[in-house]
Amino acid sequence: MQRPTVVSSVRGPRRPALPSRPTLRRTGRIGLYLAAALVLTSCSSWGQRETGAVVGAAAGGAVGGIVGTQSGSTARGAIIGAVVGGAAGAVIGHQMDRQAEELEARVPGAIVERVGEGIHVTFPSGLLFDFDSHAVRPDAAGHLRQLATSLGTYPDTRVVVVGHTDSVGSDTYNHDLSLRRAGAASNVLLAQGVSAGRIDIVGRGEWEPLATNETAAGRQANRRVEVAIFSDGASSVQP
């Protein structure tokens, strides 16, 4: 069975002030577009939060952006980097509006946001997993099945599934847990018929916190799975 592509499985130093640049793995769909890298790295330094994967040249003629650049978020960066623009971008935008509205109605508990020409969905970890587990809770799998139904309705999209943890535990353990959670979520999508060729999974461990890890509420907010949905045509770069 074909599996989703693991875009980034690198580990970095724990809670660094200026994290080191991870190794990038080039894939057929979300690949290393050297021209984009040269342009963007000439403007800013590369840090752990600024990288993760690179999205290829967009169909509208704009150069794809580094995942996570500026936004500090791998999921949001994937959407921002996949901009199509022009008339095609307007059509995609209208489709994304409809899909986002449907997801809001069908997936209670998830946070659905329109970002650029895509959709950013956040599943709080407590919604999908028990603490310190990567097994999708049976009573929560329905949320992911609803997402899969939406992806089936709009087949011309790609998906990046990103796992996150809090800072409790070692950096290595947190990274692996975040990757396993992203993989477990994607497995539910696969079981519902979503093509593995549309899905990339990323583990980000504790590297992209939403809140402080010094409080229980902050740690809970940081434990999450994010899903980026964007046009398939915007990210197609062959290795």
15-50 pLDDT per residue, tens: 433 333 332 233 333 333 223 332 333 333 333 333
pLDDT for position 2: 62
pLDDT along the chain (239 residues), means of 10: 59 39 32 31 33 31 37 84 63 89 94 94 91 92 96 95 96 97 97 96 95 94 95 51
CA distance 69 to 44: 9
pLDDT for position 156: 92
Phi, psi of 199, deg, nearest 5: -115, 135
Domains of the chain: which residue ranges? 5-235
Amino acid at position 217, single letter: A
pLDDT for position 107: 93
pLDDT for position 26: 30
Please answer whether residues 84 and 117 qualify as being in contact, where contact means their C-beta atoms are separated by less than 8 angstroms.
yes
Place of tokens 């916190």: 209
Amino acid at position 104, single letter: E
How far, CA to CA in Å, does 30 sit from each of 57, 147, 195?
10, 21, 16
CA distance 46 to 37: 10
pLDDT for position 3: 66
CA distance 41 to 35: 10
pLDDT for position 82: 74
pTM: 0.72
pLDDT for position 109: 87
8-state DSSP, 22: P
pLDDT for position 117: 87
Q: How far is CA 6 from the centre of its chain?
A: 11
For domain 5-235, give the CATH superfamily. OmpA-like domain (3.30.1330.60)
Cα dihedral 212→165→79→237 (10° resolution): 140
Q: Order the strands of the 111-115 sheet from edge to edge.
A: 5-8, 199-203, 157-164, 224-231, 118-124, 111-115
